[in-house]
Structure 1
Amino acid sequence: MTNIVWHQPSITKADRQRLNQHKSGVLWFTGLPGSGKSTLANKVDERLHQSRMRSYVLDGDNIRHGLNKGLGFSKEDRAENLRRIGEVAKLFVDSGQIVLTAFVSPHRKDRDQIRTLFAEGEFIEIHVSCPLDICEKRDPKGLYQRAKKGEIQNFTGVDAPYEPPVSPELTIDTNRCTADEAADVIIGFLKEKEWI
């Protein structure tokens, strides 16, 4: 890679943040399948959009239809899936936007590695906590049942582990609050941190 040199842009992240009138950063939603990550990320995105903030949701399933098409669910493929998402999220942050990522991201090591891509205070890890039995009852895509039948291998919560964050910036228990209540907490946190 000796022939590749970083080209410094003439418009900086700070310039874009001033134009947008808010800070940029990543809200990294992590949790078991069915815990409510995508629902919550989209609810917060709606609130930001209504307030004329620049934001975008990167959703695990949607990304696997394009950018990460062809990656499986082995530990190595999951790590590569998240590495790519971390780099894409960094581009969004550099563009002055708030990016909301909804990924199971089951391994702490992978999440911690992604955090290192961002400046201090630009990465907010949100643990979307929900008991496994409730996630299984919700099972909006029928994946737990398919995994238990052996139709899906390496499914987090069935035959693959989930490592909850040790000290996330926020923990939202979606078994104890509505999506609107959870979005209120997150928006309040962003105001407290002076992102918005």
Structure 2
Amino acid sequence: MENNQPGYTGWGFVGGWNNYDQYVKFTVNNSTGGNKTVTLRYAAAAGNASRKISVNGSPEIVVNFAGTSGWNVFSTASFTYNFPVGTSTILVSHNSNWLNLDNLTITDAALATQAAAQSGLSVYPNPVRRQDLLHIALHADKATEADIVILNLFGEQLASSRKELQKGENTLGLPVNQLLPGSYILRIKYGEQIQTKKILISN
């Protein structure tokens, strides 16, 4: 566990991770079963990285982590899994390149995905606490990139991020701990669409 880069959450982060024998194991407890989105917050200043992930001993999938502009610049990568009720184990193993892993969160994907399919965009939780991730569910007609911007109520840009979208339903995680409590505008541009949502950040 390391804590030599600003911007992490909790006590620190898993750093210096570039060995095929290294893995991180998470034990989670779900009060309900079903499809849930697992979001990993990370930094990858050495460039694009990947990790192999297995849930409850299932066949491994490879999750890609786009490179970040610094070790103190965090982004997120997500995948969806059909969890049973009760305890589950998530094993994240090295696959390629360096990666700092900050945290892992699990959210129920069903309601957000349904809302996104109806309106094209859904954000939750809203209000969101500063220490939590703001989750964005949206539908893309084709694989593309999304430019995400947070503005204050005067239209001034305060934060930005670029995420890769797959064709179909997508759930993204966005950290908001760099912003003060208050009201903001979330603007997302992807493909030919530009959508906005008002968000509220609390302590």
**TM-score, normalisation: structure 1:** 0.24
Greater helix fraction, Structure 1 or Structure 2: 1
Q: Which has the higher contact order (CA 8 A, sep 6+)?
A: 1
Greater strand fraction, Structure 1 or Structure 2: 2
